[in-house]
A and B are shown apart, each in its own frame.
Chain A
């Protein structure tokens, strides 16, 4: 945000249609958006990069409707999350793993047991977060993976901070249930 002191001046630049403002917005946010998409996609860097590009493709035409209630990065997180969900909701991605394909997936055990277990745990957590009801999912994704503070989420969602905390608490209750281990 070199030529733009703060987000308000950046926003003014964007509204005036300044290319430099758009580039500054990219510079200030693309790493955050990429990191969030990396978490959402389970560490798939190529997919995260493609979806980051797609996120901005969707953001440009919608920029006029951004009301400045939240930070630009929070707004982009919302678009990024929807972009990812849209991607995985395609039926082709819901198809079960083919038997032939399963056969060539390398079996990493037992030499990397601990690492594999940790990875499995992370994957379970990621899938559990993705399976949360929509109203809870974005809050968890943005708060923990996007490091958006509760105050900022409350502003973005148009609710009180108490309501955000309650929803996060509720999300935790669901996650605890989903991640229950025998």
Chain B
């Protein structure tokens, strides 16, 4: 007999107030690192505010045209090249990234596994998953290994998750994946749905460094 925490219990445990005091000098340490560039615009901005009502109309028109031009350029640039995902950029800041090709990872972002009619449900689903896994190509470049790999099977609103951690060579992935699939089978057994969503999240490393991080979690 297993016991799962209730929503209220989870809410209470997550909300437990624990507000430790930061070190006394933390604010000063942060402020000492405010970069100089942040200040670059200050005098100009202050001066422009104080002079605003003396600026001739012709100059204002010229400035407006210039701003319009910049605006049009910005819109054009953004259509040509969409803005990068800031969160992703920040997450990868300081992480050595390498091009996609050397780390050949081809995993469908999300796909659906369906029960095959006329066969025992668990075997049909497992066979379907195994077919999919055979199509995946994991990091093939020398020295590249999988640091963490998580297989998710999502029967609608419930996720089954299997995580493997450690520096695994591509060849060594087969066993943990098999283990994950075996665990996923239990998930199929317990559910009546005909269709499941499967996705995978993994972190790839090389020579002791994380070199590429990718998640194919549902959006």
Contact = CB atoms under 8 A, between A and B. Distances in A.
Contacts of A136: 217
B2 interface: yes
B22 A34 contact: yes
A90 to B, nearest CB: 6
A17 B163 contact: no
A2 interface: no
A177 B159 contact: yes
Report which residue of B26, B27, B157 has the largest number of chain A beta carbons within 10 angstroms of its beta carbon: B26
Contacts of A78: 87, 90
Contact of A19 (B20, B34, B215): B34
A82 B91 contact: yes
Contacts of B14: 125, 129, 140, 144-145
A122 interface: yes
- The contact size tier of chain A is 35 or more
A3 interface: no
Contacts of B11: 144
A38 B20 contact: yes
A148 interface: no
A91 B163 contact: no
B167 interface: yes
Contact of B90 (A79, A92, A129, A131): A79
A38 B18 contact: yes
Interface string B35-76: 101111110011000000000000000000000000000000
Given A125-B13, A125-B14, A176-B10, A17 B90 contact: no
B205 interface: yes
B101 interface: no
B41 A58 contact: no
B81 interface: no
B99 interface: no
Interface residues of B, number: 66
A18 B42 CA distance: 5
A91 B147 contact: yes
A117 B213 CA distance: 34
Contacts of A31: 22
Interface of A: 14-19, 22-23, 26-27, 30-31, 34-35, 38-39, 43, 45, 48-49, 52-53, 56-58, 60-63, 65, 78-79, 82-83, 85-86, 89-92, 94, 96, 121-122, 125, 129, 131, 133-136, 140, 144-145, 169-170, 172-182
18 contacts: A17-B38, A17-B39, A17-B40, A19-B34, A19-B38, A26-B34, A39-B18, A49-B23, A49-B26, A60-B33, A78-B87, A79-B90, A86-B92, A129-B14, A134-B201, A145-B14, A173-B158, A176-B4
Given A82-B91, A90-B210, 20 more contacts: A17-B37, A19-B34, A23-B34, A26-B31, A31-B22, A35-B22, A45-B20, A48-B22, A49-B22, A52-B26, A62-B90, A83-B90, A91-B208, A91-B209, A94-B166, A131-B150, A145-B14, A176-B6, A177-B158, A177-B161
